[in-house]
Each structure stands twice: as C-alpha cells, then as structure tokens.
Amino acid sequence: MLRLPAFLLFAALPSLLAQAPADPAPVKAEPAAKAEPAPEAPKAPTQVTFTRCNVDGPYIAMTFDDGPHGTQTPRLLKMLRDRGIKATFFVVGQCVAEYPEIAKQIVKEGHEIGNHSWSHPSLSTMATDNVRDQLERTHNVIKQETGVAPTVMRPPYGNFTTQQRAWAHATWGYSVVLWDVDTLDWKHRSPAKTEATTLTNTHAGSIILCHDIHSTTVDAMPATLDKLLAKGFKFVTVSELIKLNREAPPKPAAPAKKTATAPLTAKEAATAATSLDELAKTPPKAAPKKK
Ligand code: NI
C-alpha cells in the first residue's frame, strides 16, 4: 500500500477536496513545491448566530427585550439619550402594534430594532408555518410603523433550531442574536443585581441581555450605564457590533522549516491531525441559553 507522509497529505488536502478524490500521483511527483505554502482554510460559511463578538476595541451592545412598554421604554430612551448611548431593542410584534409611537421613537433616536416574535412563544418546537407567522407579522409591523426593516432577530428564550436559524437568515436576512451576559433581570427584579451582573461579566464584544418592560431594570440603568462608560466601554448597536466582528486568527500552519520528506514526529503528526479535524468542521454554533 502506498504510504504518504502525513504532512504531504495535510498540504495536499485542499486540492484533493477541491477536485474529485483522485489520483494521488501529483502529490508524490512534486512534493517540495506543494508542501511549502500553508494550506488555506476553507472559506467559513456566513455566521448567522452571535452570542458575542470578537472585536478590536471596547465595544459592547446593550439589548432590551420584550417591549416596547408604555412607560418603561420611554424612561429608558431618555437615559440613553442623555448619555449618547445607542442600544438595540428586540421588540414583540403585538407590543409594537400597541405602542407604535414608541417603536417609532426607538428608531428615530438612532437605536436598532430587532424582531422578537409576535407573542413571545418558544419557537423551536413550533411548526414552520406558525414560526413564519410569528416572525413575518412582527417584521411587517416594525417596517410599517418605523419604516425600517429589521435585520436582526432574537428568538424568545433563545430557543431556535439550527435549521430555523438558517431558514430565518435565508428568508429575511436575519442574524440571530443571543447574548453572553444574562442579567436575569426578569427573575430577580433587583436593580443592584442587574448592575452587578452586568459590570462583572461584560467584556469587549459582549452582548448584554436586559428587559425594558421591568421598572427595576430601567431603575438599574443610570448607574449601570455610567459605570460601563467609566470603564471605557463604547456602546454600539448589535448590527454595528456584528460588523466589527472579526474571525478568529487562522490556525498556525505546519512548520515551514520542515522538508516535505522529513517524517513527522508523533507530536507533530498529532497536531496536524487535530488541525485537519478542525479544518473539516464548520465553526461551532452557539448553543442557546435557557433562562
Ligand atoms: Ni423575551
């Protein structure tokens, strides 16, 4: 049986994958030239789901779900306005229908508005027609009332299957936005805990989950926002944060010094095998968090 050094196989893999799984002879014929350049990683598929972003700079996104609320959202909007902070509101369609003027105000004041379904069900176990209805009605009422078509959505409870994410992206162009900082504000209803949780867990690239339907959450905001500002964080909308997202740096290629014919040490062979495995994988999908 023809035995190729593992390193040769590693170097030749992209061309082997690109063509039919064909004749290995060319690999054998011109090993030195082929082996030298690092194999290019396959182009990553478009990232649909974001729990946080990988950014150069102290950028974060505050997100407020489940509104608009008749009194709490306007209170919050003033706090944001006073500080020049832009946030993202994942709104519930039936609340937009109830408070269209507040939805308009959200957009007019420069915030982003995203789709959080029509009536806040758990979408992952629903039939496609019902999920479509939940998202389409909300998409349409947002567009009708604010003049802006949302480009981001957040599934209630974070419950959305991989297939549903791909479908929502294909249908509406949505990025599916989860979170890495969960204030649990809806649960404890404590301004102090909302503030502490946010300040402890927020890092550059964080997406922070709050709910602007609770007075206790809005009560927490002046101090929370001021302390985040004092730490040097810069507030952007989720879409802006996603635009700043950069892919993780590529894996280091196999060592360039090696000649093509040199056998790999066991350790190097293990590294190459790990890299191949990783190249073959699509980027891991973020698991939805339960709350
Ligand atoms: Ni929600």
| pLDDT tens profile 249-282 | 666 665 554 444 444 444 444 444 333 334 334 4
Cα distances from 21 to residues 8, 9, 13, 119, in angstroms, run 15, 12, 10, 50
Q: What is the pLDDT of residues 60-70, one digit of tens each?
A: 999 999 999 99
Mean pLDDT of 191-207: 98
- pLDDT bin (cut points 50, 70, 90) of residue 247 is confident
Burial of 115 (0-12, 13-18, 19+ CB in 10 A): buried
Mean pLDDT of 222-243: 98
Burial of 18 (0-12, 13-18, 19+ CB in 10 A): exposed
How far, in Å, is the centroid of ligand 1 from the Cα of 84? 25
At 196 the pLDDT is 98
Mean pLDDT of 187-196: 98
The rounded distance, in Å, linking the Cα atoms of 229 and 238 is: 17
At 21 the pLDDT is 41
Residue type, 4: L
Q: Residue 60 corresponds to which tokens in the numbers above?
A: 């974060």
- pLDDT bin (cut points 50, 70, 90) of residue 113 is very high
Among 164, 242, 234, 161, CA closest to 204: 234
**Lowest-pLDDT range, 42-51, 74-83, 268-277?**
268-277
Tell me which of 211, 212, 214, 219 is the catalytic residue: 211
How far, in Å, is the centroid of ligand 1 from the Cα of 156? 5
Q: What is the mean pLDDT of the chain?
A: 83
How far, in Å, is the centroid of ligand 1 from the Cα of 201? 20
pLDDT surpassing 80 at residue 100 = yes
- Tell me if residue 116 is catalytic: no
How far, in Å, is the centroid of ligand 1 from the Cα of 224? 21
Mean pLDDT of 187-197: 98
- Tell me if residue 211 is catalytic: yes
- pLDDT bin (cut points 50, 70, 90) of residue 291 is very low
Q: Which residue has the higher pLDDT, 131 or 284?
A: 131
How far, in Å, is the centroid of ligand 1 from the Cα of 87? 16
pLDDT surpassing 90 at residue 39 = no
At 14 the pLDDT is 45
- pLDDT bin (cut points 50, 70, 90) of residue 212 is very high
Q: Which residue has the higher pLDDT, 9 or 96?
A: 96
Q: What is the pLDDT of residues 141-189, one digit of tens each?
A: 999 999 999 999 999 999 999 999 999 999 999 999 999 999 999 999 9
At 185 the pLDDT is 98
| Percentage of the residues of the chain whose pLDDT score is greater than 90 | 69
- pLDDT bin (cut points 50, 70, 90) of residue 40 is low
- Helix 100-108 with 128-146: angle, nearest 10 deg: 70
pTM of the full structure: 0.73
Q: Residue 204 corresponds to which tokens in the numbers above?
A: 């550059």
- pLDDT bin (cut points 50, 70, 90) of residue 44 is low
